[in-house]
Structure 1
Amino acid sequence: MSGQTAGGLAFGDGVLFFPVTPFDRSDRIDHALLAEHVASGVEAGAAGVFAACGTGEYHALSATEAEAAVGTAVTATAGRVPVLAGVGGPLAHARDVARAAAARGAQGLLVMPPYLVQAPQEGLIRYVQALADETELPLIVYHRGNAALTEATVERLLDLPLVAGIKDGVGDIALAQRFVLAAERSGRELLFFNGLLTAELSQAAYRSIGVPLYSSAVFAMAPDIATAWFDAYRGGDDERQRHLLEHFFVPLVRLRDETPGFAVSLIKAGLRLAGLPVGPVRAPLVDPNAEHTERLRAILASGRDAL
């Protein structure tokens, strides 16, 4: 659930929106289409926009492209909701994106992993500190992959004033509970997010440990279904949540899990099915084939029938 505030970030009551990054036939960002995509998501009730993040293929964008995508998202939201920008990967690249995002009007940063290299916990702390030294924007630190954090590391990150939240992409509920308790012991207000893929499927567990916020990639391609689930979640309608999980989210996850990277590729395919020509994903991701796409079409139809 949204309506959460910490570290200068304030999200309204709605779904958190992670837009895709559309590419044209020349493999350039289609900024007009991106603006349309972001504006329509805000109009559909998004509480915040996370631009050029995981669903937006941050891993495949140059620093210049990421900056431009964030600028387009900021303009398209027109101040109606906060815009956060993805940063991560090589430190120099992340620093460039952090500075540029601030200049373009982003209100916060999602700190994603330093891809490829394996680092000790001290190195991860230094990575976050280095980004904090480059910006005055609040930071959401993504606990995921080769940036998996320990409880002791989270306790030290709480000493950094700009750290405003932790996004959990690991899925260890017991460890996430310890993170929440560590923040409570510190007296710091911190935003905690469920950042697992298709987070609706695990959000009941996260809410039970004090993590009410979650990422919704589904909102990018099917805001009606994502919002219906959110409304049931917010209103405590367990039966409606289970109905949508059974008829839409679980089948989607089964399809998603067949191919690495489909967490992003299927969202773009769903937008293309809806008539928005967002283009393909960039390598190393791959687009779904015709059979996958037809199955996705059927899953979306089933989800809308379930509404």
Structure 2
Amino acid sequence: MTNESTPFGRVLCAMVTPFTATGEALDLDRAAGLAAGLLADGCDGLVLSGTTGESPTTTDAEKSALIRAVRDAVGPSAVLLAGVGTADTAHTAELARQAEDAGADGLLVVPPYYSRPPQAAVEAHFRRVADATGLPLMLYDIPGRTGVRIEPETMLRLAEHPRIAAVKDCAYDLLGSTRVIAGSSLAVYSGCEELNLPLYAVGGAGCVSTVANVAPGAVRAVLDAFDAGDTAEAARRNQRLLPLVERMMAAGLPGAVTAKALLDAGPVREPLQPADQDAVDGLRQAYGELAAVSR
């Protein structure tokens, strides 16, 4: 499922990071089983240690251990991207090298946050990280979390780098995204569930999905229907997903919290807190309704 226009496949899961019951250690056996199941159920690849993977609260050593455990479980052909973005360019480059050594196929990199660098510094940051390894990069444009936009003009310049291959788009700027698709070879992946189908329809490469942790087949079915030329069916399948998308992504809780509420993947780490019972009940209801109509 990978080619020049979809270098990492179409449907990637932003996988949760399973922890043991106390949250003090990784549950690598559970991570391996979850990863294998997601690939078997429709995902083309996995993003480890991203936002949903709680990367701010895992150590460098844990990030490498997670890649190794998942790689051992899924074999050499599965696509694995590693989140390595930090607020420190040197640290990010070192994490990139560690991810390459651990067996990652690509890197997910946010712009340096908190410092609020100007666009020239953002561009220099990505170029330095891209030069640190032989792996392709997926830029992660999520200004709502980082406070820093990767402007479309910056992306167009970065597209000239031979190892900058893709963008995870969480900027809610469909016009800007379409400009990047039209003006470069970058594969633009939706990182916002409600834009998976709209962005795909204007030439996007696919999605990096949190909802795929619990409904990978349903997420994939939307794009499959579009590829088959049945846009009405794609819209119907997208509409079926909406209640679960709203519960998981638009109800005031982070995706890591809502995904783990539906999975046997251990607790979230502080400062995140688990979903309360009302939220869990709503999530289970939406998931059950989707499962019923997907049979």
Give the alignment's TM-score, normalised by structure 1: 0.86
Q: Distance in 1 between matches of 2:32 and 2:224?
A: 26
d(CA) in 1 for partners of 2:29, 2:122: 37
**Larger CA deviation: 216-225 vs 33-42:** 216-225
Q: Distance in 1 between matches of 2:233 and 2:213?
A: 21
Match in the other structure for 2:81:
84
Alpha-carbon distance between aligned partners in 2 of 1:106 and 1:251, rounded to the nearest angstrom: 30
Match among 59, 73, 76 for residue 56 of structure 2: 59
CA distance in 2, matches of 1:246, 1:167: 22
**Helix, strand or coil for the counterpart of 1:268?**
helix
**Which whole-Å deviations, capped at 9, do the CAs of 1:68-113 have from their partners, x for residues lacking one?**
1111222222023211111111323322221111001111101123
Which residue identity does 1:115 align to in structure 2? Y
Matched ranges for 1:278-297 at <5 A: 278-297=265-284
Alignment correspondent of 2:285: 298
Quick one: which amino acid aligns to residue 270 of structure 1? L
In structure 2, the partner of 1:193 is 189
Which residue identity is paired with 1:90? A
Paired residues, number: 289
Q: Is the 8 A contact 1:34 1:73 kept in 2?
A: yes
Larger mean CA deviation between 125-134 and 289-298 belongs to 125-134
Q: In 1, Cα distance between the equivalents of 2:224 and 2:203? A: 18
Partner-residue secondary structure (3-state), 1:56: coil
2: CA distance, partners of 1:17 / 1:128: 23
1:114-166 deviation line (CA, Å, top 9, x unaligned):
23221110111111122123211111111221331223212321232211112
Gap change, CA 1:89 and 1:203, over 3 Å in 2: same
Corresponding residue number in structure 2 for 1:186: none
- The answer to whether 1:266 aligns with 2:258 is yes
Q: Distance in 2 between matches of 1:280 and 1:234?
A: 37
- In 2, distance between residues paired with 1:133 and 1:212? 24
Return the letter of the residue paired with 2:102: R
Give the SS at the match of 1:279: coil
1:161 maps to 2:159: no
Aligned-partner SS, 1:106: coil
Counterpart in the other structure of 1:109: 107
What is aligned with 1:148?
149
Please tell me the root mean square deviation across aligned C-alpha atoms, in Å. 2.1
Q: Is the counterpart of residue 20 in structure 1 residue 16 in structure 2?
A: yes
| Structure 1 residues 148 and 132: alpha-carbon distance in aligned structure 2, compared to 1, 3 A threshold | same
Q: Secondary structure at 1:23's aligned position in 2?
A: coil
Q: Which amino acid aligns with 2:280?
A: T
1:151 and 1:182 in contact (8 A); partners too = no
1:69 corresponds to 2:69: no
Residue identity (%):
28
3-state SS in 1 of match to 2:70: helix
Match of 1:137 in 2: 135
Question: Does the C-alpha gap of structure 1 residues 242 and 208 become closer, same or farther in structure 2, counting only changes over 3 Å?
Answer: closer
Deviation at 1:215, TM superposition (A): 1.4
Runs of 4+ in 1 over 6 A off after TM superposition: none
Gaps of 5+ in 2: none
Between 1:119-128 and 1:86-95, the stretch displaced more is: 86-95
Unaligned runs of 5+ in 1: 184-188
Give a deviation string over 1:44-72, Cα, whole Å, max 9, x none.
Answer: 23211211112211122111111111112
Cα deviations across residues 192-245 of structure 1 (Å, max 9, x unaligned)? 11112xx2x223321232113111211112234323334333334344444444
Change over 3 Å in CA distance of 1:255–1:144 after alignment to 2: closer
Residues 251, 107 of structure 1: alpha-carbon distance in 2 compared, 3 angstrom cutoff: closer
TM-score, normalization by structure 2: 0.90
